[in-house]
Structure formats: structure tokens, C-alpha cells
Structure 1
Amino acid sequence: MSVIAYLVFCIYTLALVYITVYCLMQFNLLYHYKRHKNREAVPLRPAPSPENELVLAGNAADDHYLAATDLSAAAPEEWPFVTVQLPIYNEMYVIERLIDNITSFDYPKDRFEIHILDDSTDETVEITRRKVEEYRAKGFNIEQIIRKDRQGFKAGALRDAMPYAKGDFMAIFDADFLPRPDFLKNTMPYFQDEEIGVVQTRWEHINEGYSLITKLQAIQLNVHFTVEQAGRMRGDYLLQFNGTAGVWRRQTIEDAGGWEADTLTEDLDLSIRAQLKGWKIRFLEQIGSPAELPAEMNSLKSQQFRWMKGGAETARKMLPTVWRSDLSLRQKIQATSHLLSSSVFLFVFITGVFSVPLLFLFGELMEVGVDSKYFAVFLIGLLSIIAVYYVANVEAIPQGESFAKSFFKFLFLFPLFLALSMGLSLHNSVAVIQGFLGKQSPFVRTPKFNIKNLRDSFSRNKYVIRKLSWTTVFEGLLALYFAGAVIGGIYLENTMFIFFHLMLALGYGTIFYFSLRHLSLK
């Protein structure tokens, strides 16, 4: 066997091992999610106890899942004072609906304030000013806070706004969110547990059915906001605040060192620091916060780049601290998997690229006893991830659909989701590598278009990205690369990789097509 064949085989196998371990770690979260799912009975608005105390839910005293007392049991003046922070940057299409939505909270007007942290450089500033004046005249405690510069981007805005905040609790919403009127009433009671520093709600999707792109995004986010977040909580692992649709205890932010802008995922960074200080994050799967998904490909890619690079930056920053901490070994291992989760795209990319030369070199490997059945062991990873996504998208979240419809929709969409994820692996790998190398880059916002249904369009939106990136060009070349591999496999009568290469060709081709199509919109 030649040195090249041996090297390709080893690199491909090591990448497969990494992906399989990642999938098994996800399955571990599914185990904890399912194990405790039926033992919880946490009502949204439980009846108050005479003592106005927390009520332990579940069948075992060690569950630590607390049902909160209804705030209506207390006099309005005793309700916690909340500062609602809305960090925005150039959100002219959605800022009005955001402010209208937040002012609809059924929480006493004198027990919350609204701070719009406005870093905008366009018409958004004037639109916001007018809405602030409108609601101030109606008796709302609302303020537009404008900084002289965008130093630190979102993290900087949140950090610099803290001295202006009067609340002991900070509810944070990005511009694309539309929380329900009872959001504060449903979340604030959980802070009666003094160990809880953060309450995070589940993201819902107001425009999931808009396009194939939004449907596939929803599949992935549903996993994070069921199996991953709830599984980590139930397994006593570290979890995270997701940057929006949640509430922080002010004391927790200050105790953890405050918002820091040295990563692109300031939310994950502060979450880890807070939990290492002993604070707990309470994830409320039963409370949804509707939001708008990116409706065009380049906006999705900008969001993915920020999440993937920020995740790598946070891993680089926090992993040494995690391993020096007093966490148990299993908590450290799961935290490592969590912080390194973006790295899986790098290994998906490596596996795809090296599978093509492996196809043509496999004859040499067979001469030394390597059989294609050798790779069957890695199917355990695929089966694990199928189980995770099935539970999250068919069982966990009520869809208002019959089981049969949800099941067959999943059967259709999941292979397309895998293909799309493979197609994003080059783009996301670049982000991960830059994050681990410490390369600095600006906070690239995800444009919001106010897309709610099929009648809405983003074609004339001024925030649509028009610049062709080098990664898009390479995505087109990789689509041809894997299409050629499909033809090569048929020619060699070796179909071992044919479905893998078909999905890679489809994934990269889809990413390339929509990236170009959405760039050319007028």
C-alpha cells in the first residue's frame, strides 16, 4: 500500500471518529432528555401556595426542577423590577413591531423599563425616536440609548447600558423576536430560587414555512431548544443563554465579570463564566418565544459564521478554565463537547474532501485486507443523530399536526437538512479555523426583513448582502468535485460512497445556487 493511500485512509478515519464521538455525545443528551421527560410536570402558571413559595415538581426530591409560584399572588408593587434591553443595529424593517410587541407585556407599567440600545447608522435611529416618544406619552418607561461608537458591538452595547439600568433583572431580546405578553409573568417567578441566574426560553419560528431554507433551519434549532438545552439541564451539565429571549439576574452578570466583547458569542462566554461561579441556568422548554428565521442564504451564512467562529473563540478562551474548575469529570467532558461543537463542521469537510481520493485508492487498501465493511461501525453515529433529530422534530414540539404528517415531513426534510449541513461545512470550517487562530473580525449582524408569510419578500430590502465571497465560488467548485466523484464511483463500479457524494454534491450545489440567486436580487 502506498504512503498516500495510507495517509488518506488515516485522515478520513480520524475525521469519522471525531464525528462519531460528537454524535454519541448528542445521544447522551437525548438519553437525559428522555429519561427525565415524563418525570417533570412543570405547569406554566401553577396555583400559588399559601406561603408563596416554590413548589417542587416531579417524583423525586433530587430532580431540582422547580415550578414557580404565580406572580398574581403578590401585590404588583412587590413584583420584581425588570429592565428590558433591546440591542439593535440598523433594524428599520422590524424595530416598530419589536417596540409595539414589548409594550404589550401584561406586567405592571411601573415595574419594568424598556431600554433600546441603538447603535444604528441609518433611518432606524429616527424611526426608533418617534416610537419612543409615542410610548413615553402613553406612560411607558422607555428610553433610546445611543453610544458614540459601536465598540464591542452587541456585548459592548449591553455592557455600556448597565449603568443606566434600574432593574435587578435584565430581559434581552434581539430585533427579530416577538415575545408573548405573558413572557415576564411566566419567567420571573423562577428567580425565587436564589441559585438561578438566568432563565432561557425556547425559540419558536414565525416564518418556518416560508421556504425550504427556513424549514431546514427550524429542524436544527428545534434540536438545540429541546434535546440539547433540556438534556444538559437534566443531566446537570453546563448549558447556555442564547443571546435573546431570556432573563438575567443582574447580580449574576456582575458576579461573572460582566459582558465581554473578545468573542463573537458573548452570550455563551458569559453563560460559562456565570455557571463556573455557581449560578444555574433554567431552560423553559414549555415557554416559546417567536422569532424570524433568516429567509435568504447569505443572511443565514453570516449568522452561521458568527455562531461558529464565536463558538471556537469561546472554546479557546474558556476550555482551560473549565478544566481547572471544580466541575466533575463528566461535566467537564460534556462542556468540552459543547464548546467544541462548531468544530464538527471542520471534520465533516475533511471527511468529504478525503473520501474522493479514498474512493480511487481503495483498491490498494483492499490488497492489505481493508474491507468496506470496516466503515459500517461508524453508522452508529448516523443512527444516533437520526434519533436526536427525530425526537426533537416529531415528538418534542407540538406542531398542530397529526403524528403521520410530522413523521413523513421529517422523513422528507431530514436528508435535505443533512445535505445542507454538509454544504455549509466549508463556510463554517473557515469560521472555526479563524476562531481558534484568534483572527479578529467584525460582528456581522444577521439582517432582519420582517418576513412572516409567503406574501412577504426580501428582494428590495436594503440589507440584502450583495458581495460575492470566495467561499461561495469554492462551494460551486466542490459541487462539481463531488458530482465527478459520483460519476467516478459508477465508472469504477464502487458505489461505497455514492450516496455520501450525492448528498455532498446536492448540499454544496444548493448553497452555491441560493447564494448566487440571492446576491442577484434587485
Structure 2
Amino acid sequence: MVEGDSAYPYWPEGRRRKAFIFLVACLGAGAMPHLLGPIRGLFPALGAALLFGGYSLRSMLSPRHQIEEPFNALVSEALTSNSVASDSLPRVDVLVAARDEEAVITRLVQAVADLDYPKELLSLWVMDDGSLDRTPQILEKLAEQFPFLEVRRRPRDAGGGKSAALNALLPQLQGEWLMVLDADASFDPNLLLRLAPHLKLRQWGALQLRKAVEQVESSWLTRSQALEMAFDAVIQEGRIASGGIGELRGNGELLRREVLLACGGFNEDTVTDDLDLSFRLLLAGEAIGVVWNPPVQEEPVTRWGALLRQRQRWAEGGLQRYLDYWPALISAKLSIGQKIDLFVFFVLQYMLPVAIYGDLFAAVVWRQLPLLWPLSISTLSLSAFALRQAGKRSSDGPALPSSTGLTLLMANTYLMHWFLVIPWVSLKMALKPKRLIWSKTTHVGLAVPGLP
């Protein structure tokens, strides 16, 4: 990790013990209402549904003009490159950690080359993280063709995963802003010019672009992923507008270099550098903005096995950061609104999926009906509403699936995979020692004519 003063309590020790406590507490919370009986036992879930559901609905309905209005007057100016002087634009370093990316790395380099942005203000830094395929040879040829491309390499067993690969690049960078991309990323050529008004505002320590899924109509699985990514952006916009927090999502994140260095760089002791950094920025008092348009595009995951492996990593990193940073999350460093926001979404995202199994077990033991269904139904109803809201938004890049009843039903059913992933990951974290391994998603890619 890059050196920097830690301005917040960070407690990574004893993760198995903390995960075990979390698991037992959630199972117990799901089972305890059964001690009250089949009628009174519904009251806790009904109360939670009203409180958490009401907060979530308020977030989704919060006016977005608080986030977007300051940018609108400047966007039209930034869209035309001739109207924006180079000295008014920040220098941007694009960072990519690439491991076995022969299928997509050429397209990414070409996409950066096609950006309508002054080339003297733009550099692409690729860390070849011990690739075993043709990635090193392809990058060598591309570096000869594109002067803005800087390639570095490190051994495959160097450790630290993607975070360490990105950290190894930081001492060499000079850009005011860093744009972190996955190797399968694609985007519109005017991306950076459209973001120029955002980058001029010091109120943001980081920006996260909405992630848009390519090949949307390939299957119901890809359609559901497209709506899920849009759903996530809508939820985040609402959380920010109602006094909560925004979060990074890895691909398509822009970071102020000075802010990242002050936070100690990327955490090499986590499986999700983006989620961990979101908390570091939050505790450092830096706001994260979410940009709906323009988006960054990425390949969908087309097989359930690969999708579940990806989601297990996301779930583990998401829960791990709460376990690591909880002393700071309840400290005076955060506002009351931020604490409420974190608590509500921690309960709905991580506690509820585990508590349901405690509820089901107790229902069998006491021969009663499950009692958490009011909170579960409230949560699924809110997700369906957010999916519908997301599907109605205008979208640059790939068009979002039409918001028909069947499409929304399939997407909401698809989201229920988290009720399997979260409990399974919580159990693994509580019982098995963790080995930090960069378990990346395999990218298929598209050929780029005339390039390696």
C-alpha cells in the first residue's frame, strides 16, 4: 500500500472471528421473533419494513437536481473540443491492471486513443500482472504504435492482487485525475470532455460512472445484468441526494490523485479495492459522485458459474469492509445521515439475507410460519420499483431493456441470487481462513481490425 497517514481506525485483524459473530447475530435475529409467538412475532419485521422501507423509498424519490444541476450549464461547452482550451482541462492518467487480457486489451487501447481529449494531457498506464497468454506481446506492439501507452510488468506471484498492481503505478503518475478501467471497458470518444465540468468541481474526491452492459439482448441473464447496473446507479444517486453516500464500482471510477495518495492508495489486503476505497474516501471526508451519462461499458457475464464466483468476491469484499472499518463508521467522523444510510443498507444488503435462514430454521423448530416475510416483501417490492425507475431513464451507450412486466419480473427474480450468495459467503468467511487471490472474470472481447 502507498504510504500515507491513516486518519481512521482500521481493524483487519480477526476477520474470521468477526464474521462468525456477524453470522450468529444475524441467524439469532431471524430466529428470536419466534419466541414472541406467531402474531406478536410479526411486529419486529413489520416495524423494520416501515422504517427501512420508508427510508429506501425516500432515497429513491429524492430529487436528483442536487447532483446534476451544477453540471448542466457547462456540459454543452465541454462537448465541443474546440470550445475548451487545453489549459482549462486537467491531466488524466488512465490505469489498467491486466492479467491474461489478450481478447480485450487491444480494443481498450484503441478506445483510449479515440478519446476526444488533448493527447498531451492523457496517458494510459497498463500493468501487465504476470499474464500467461499473449497480453505481453500485444502490449509491446501497441506501445510502439501509441506513444501515450506506458506498459509496466510485475511477476504473477507478486501478491496483493489488483490493488498492488495499481499501487505499483502510482509513484510514476502526474495526472490530477486517475481513471481506473477494467480491460474490457469501452466508452464514447467524448467521455472525458463530457466529464470536464465534473472534474472542475472540487466538491468531488471521486466520481463513479454508471456501468452499462454490452450485448444486452443476448439473453435474459444479460438483460437482468443491464438493469441491475442501472438499478445500482439509481439507488446510489438517491442515497447521495438524501444525505447518504456514493460508492465506487471499480470499472469507470475517476479519482483525484492527491486524495487517493492521502488515503494510502489501494488496500492490498482486500478482494474488492473499489468497495474498500469507498470507505476510505468517506472517512477522509471526500464525496463520491455518481454519473448516469456518459456510462462506461463492459462485457456481461454469460454463465451462471462465472457470475456466482464474481458475486461471491463482491459479497466478501463488501462485508469485509464493514468488519474492518466499523469503529470509524460509528465515530464522529460521519454525519448522522451517513450513519443511518450505512446502517439501513447494511441491514438490507447483508443482514437480511442471512437472518432469513435463522427465521426458516426457527419456523421449523417451533412449527410456525416464517416471520420475516414483511421485511422481505418490502425489500423485493422496493427493488422492483427501483428497477422500473432505472429502466425508464434515458441511457447513452447500450439501450436499457424495455421495462415490460416480464422483463422486470425476471430482473427482480434474478436479484434474489444475493439471498444465496450473502449467506454462503458469510459462512465461508466465518469458518475458512482467507487467501487473497485475484479471481478475475474472464473476458471474451471483440476483434479490432488493423490492430494486434
TM-score by length of 2: 0.79
- Which region of structure 1 is more displaced relative to structure 2, 421-430 or 140-149? 421-430
Q: Secondary structure at the match of 1:243?
A: coil
2-structure distance, mates of 1:210, 1:378: 30
Q: Specify whether residues 186 and 277 from structure 1 end up closer, same or farther in structure 2 by C-alpha distance, changes over 3 A only.
A: same
2-structure distance, mates of 1:253, 1:400: 29
Alignment of 1:141-290 (within 5 A): 141-148=148-155, 149-226=157-234, 228-290=235-297
1-structure distance, mates of 2:446, 2:51: 36
1-structure distance, mates of 2:359, 2:224: 22
Shift of 1:392: 2.0
Does 2:442 match 1:447? yes
Shift of 1:225: 1.2
Shift of 1:10: 5.4
Map of 2:402 onto structure 1 = 406
2-structure distance, mates of 1:387, 1:434: 32
Does 2:75 match 1:46? yes
Map of 1:36 onto structure 2 = 63
Q: Specify whether residues 350 and 377 from structure 1 end up closer, same or farther in structure 2 by C-alpha distance, changes over 3 A only.
A: closer
The answer to whether the 8 Å contact 1:24/1:384 transfers is: no
The answer to whether the 8 Å contact 2:60/2:386 transfers is: no
Map of 2:420 onto structure 1 = 426
**Correspondent of 2:328 among 317, 321, 334:** 321
2-structure distance, mates of 1:419, 1:132: 45
2-structure distance, mates of 1:177, 1:401: 13
Q: Deviations over 1:340-380 (max 9, x none)?
A: 6244433355556666x37x934xx8xxxxxx999668644
The answer to whether the 8 Å contact 1:316/1:436 transfers is: no
2-structure distance, mates of 1:73, 1:19: 56
- Give % identity: 22
The answer to whether the 8 Å contact 2:53/2:378 transfers is: no
The answer to whether the 8 Å contact 1:85/1:173 transfers is: yes
The answer to whether the 8 Å contact 1:90/1:122 transfers is: yes
The answer to whether the 8 Å contact 2:383/2:412 transfers is: no
Q: Specify whether residues 82 and 18 from structure 1 end up closer, same or farther in structure 2 by C-alpha distance, changes over 3 A only.
A: farther
2-structure distance, mates of 1:280, 1:327: 12
The answer to whether the 8 Å contact 2:124/2:148 transfers is: yes
Q: Specify whether residues 345 and 112 from structure 1 end up closer, same or farther in structure 2 by C-alpha distance, changes over 3 A only.
A: same
1-structure distance, mates of 2:371, 2:48: 19
Amino acid aligned to 1:84: V
2-structure distance, mates of 1:30, 1:129: 51
Q: Deviations over 1:119-139 (max 9, x none)?
A: 12222221222222222xxxx
Amino acid aligned to 1:449: V
Q: Specify whether residues 177 and 354 from structure 1 end up closer, same or farther in structure 2 by C-alpha distance, changes over 3 A only.
A: farther
The answer to whether the 8 Å contact 1:306/1:443 transfers is: no
Larger RCO, structures 1/2 (Cα 8 Å, 6+ apart): 2
Q: Specify whether residues 28 and 122 from structure 1 end up closer, same or farther in structure 2 by C-alpha distance, changes over 3 A only.
A: same
Q: Deviations over 1:53-91 (max 9, x none)?
A: xxxxxxxxxxxxxxx898755532442111110111111
2-structure distance, mates of 1:374, 1:295: 33
Map of 2:315 onto structure 1 = 308
Q: Specify whether residues 12 and 105 from structure 1 end up closer, same or farther in structure 2 by C-alpha distance, changes over 3 A only.
A: farther
The answer to whether the 8 Å contact 1:101/1:179 transfers is: yes
Work out the number of aligned pairs and report it. 409
Q: Specify whether residues 85 and 12 from structure 1 end up closer, same or farther in structure 2 by C-alpha distance, changes over 3 A only.
A: farther
Shift of 1:163: 1.0
Map of 1:123 onto structure 2 = 134
Q: Specify whether residues 125 and 19 from structure 1 end up closer, same or farther in structure 2 by C-alpha distance, changes over 3 A only.
A: farther
1-structure distance, mates of 2:371, 2:97: 53
The answer to whether the 8 Å contact 2:210/2:229 transfers is: no
Map of 2:367 onto structure 1 = 361
Q: Secondary structure at the match of 1:406?
A: coil
- Which region of structure 1 is more displaced relative to structure 2, 140-149 or 332-341? 332-341
The answer to whether the 8 Å contact 1:44/1:186 transfers is: no
> CA RMSD for the aligned pairs?
3.6
Q: Specify whether residues 125 and 352 from structure 1 end up closer, same or farther in structure 2 by C-alpha distance, changes over 3 A only.
A: farther
Shift of 1:305: 0.8
Higher Rg = 1
Q: Secondary structure at the match of 2:434?
A: coil
Q: Specify whether residues 17 and 401 from structure 1 end up closer, same or farther in structure 2 by C-alpha distance, changes over 3 A only.
A: farther
Structure 1, unaligned runs of 5 or more: 1-5, 49-67, 366-371, 453-522
Q: Specify whether residues 401 and 94 from structure 1 end up closer, same or farther in structure 2 by C-alpha distance, changes over 3 A only.
A: closer
Shift of 1:319: 2.0
Shift of 1:197: 1.0
Q: Specify whether residues 291 and 381 from structure 1 end up closer, same or farther in structure 2 by C-alpha distance, changes over 3 A only.
A: closer
Map of 1:62 onto structure 2 = none
2-structure distance, mates of 1:402, 1:258: 35
1-structure distance, mates of 2:174, 2:276: 24
Map of 1:84 onto structure 2 = 94
